[in-house]
């Protein structure tokens, strides 16, 4: 019994560690963005102007740029052919905002050149959405019926569905890192930013990338917790 209690305690420990990692990553990206949001680029360009320039330079004239509410809610929507920049980014001339806008353009370029990791991520989105919607319900049902023959299979199905989420987070990493690399290369080669401006933009994008690393680590820790709970429950 003491062995299982140890596993139980480890499960809670994994949750706490994952929570700390996620909170730190979220704080870090917001803190880094705030640190450089008042550092204007020497050319006086807004993030929206930079995004338009990068898109046009890559022949992506069909992609629109829109402003949306929120802070750091920026994203590229391939289904709508649109890059949406948040209020704190769209009209800003800061090196932080320029970096964010260039990153989203990196995703648009990935889509245009059929970047394989992005294609894989797009392909597994539907099944990942199913997993995120039902894994918890199925796993809990498996716990409720743990004394019957369907308990263990239901728990395993729930764990497999959650594993899909972790796989999605894993595939997301190269997509995000590649978009940032494309952004930095473009900002430097087009002379949009230079010197210290590039360094600051890189720090912002690195902080943003770490949120995806944190999400993956948190997902792995949660997966280990589910496995430990299931193992302890099925050995009673």
Q: What percent of the chain has pLDDT over 90?
A: 81
- Mapping DSSP onto H, E and C, the string for 63-124 reads CEEEEECCCCCCEEECCCCEEEEEHHHHCCCEHHHHHHHHHHHHHHHHHHCCCHHHHHHHHH
> Strands across the sheet with 82-86, in order?
64-68, 82-86, 75-77
CA atoms in the 13 A half-sphere facing the CB of 25: 19
Task: For the chain, list residues with pLDDT below 50.
Answer: 1-8
Structure tokens at 193: 């930013």
Domain boundaries defined on the chain: 2-234
pLDDT at 10: 64
pLDDT at 98: 98
The pTM score is 0.88
Cβ proximity of 81 and 55 under 8 Å: no
pLDDT at 89: 97
Taking the C-alpha atoms of residue 103 and residue 48, their distance in angstroms, rounded to an integer, is 12
pLDDT at 129: 95
pLDDT at 30: 93
Active centre residues (catalytic): 104
pLDDT at 66: 97
pLDDT at 8: 47
Cβ proximity of 96 and 33 under 8 Å: yes
pLDDT at 9: 54
């Amino acid at each position: 019994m003491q062995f299982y209690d140890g596993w139980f305690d480890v499960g809670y420990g994994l949750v706490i560690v994952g929570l700390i990692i996620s909170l730190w990553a979220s704080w870090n990206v917001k803190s880094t963005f705030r640190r450089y949001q008042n550092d204007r680029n020497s050319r006086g360009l807004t993030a929206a102007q930079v995004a338009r320039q990068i898109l046009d330079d890559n022949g992506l004239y069909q992609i629109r740029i829109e402003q949306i509410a929120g802070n750091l809610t920026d994203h590229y929507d391939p289904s709508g052919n649109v890059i949406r920049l948040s209020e704190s980014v769209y009209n800003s001339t800061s090196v932080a905002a320029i970096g964010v806008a260039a990153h989203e353009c990196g995703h648009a370029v990935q889509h245009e050149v059929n970047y394989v990791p992005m294609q894989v991520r797009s392909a597994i989105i539907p099944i990942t959405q199913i997993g995120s919607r039902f894994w918890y319900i199925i796993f809990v049902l498996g716990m409720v019926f743990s004394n019957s023959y369907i308990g263990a299979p239901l728990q395993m199905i729930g764990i497999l569905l959650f594993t899909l989420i972790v796989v999605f987070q894993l595939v997301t990493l190269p997509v995000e890192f590649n978009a940032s690399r494309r952004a930095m290369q473009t900002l430097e080669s087009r002379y949009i930013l230079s010197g210290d401006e590039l360094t600051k933009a890189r720090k912002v994008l690195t902080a943003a990338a770490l949120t995806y690393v944190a999400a993956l680590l948190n997902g792995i820790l949660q997966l280990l917790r589910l496995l430990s709970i299931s193992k302890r429950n099925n050995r009673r």
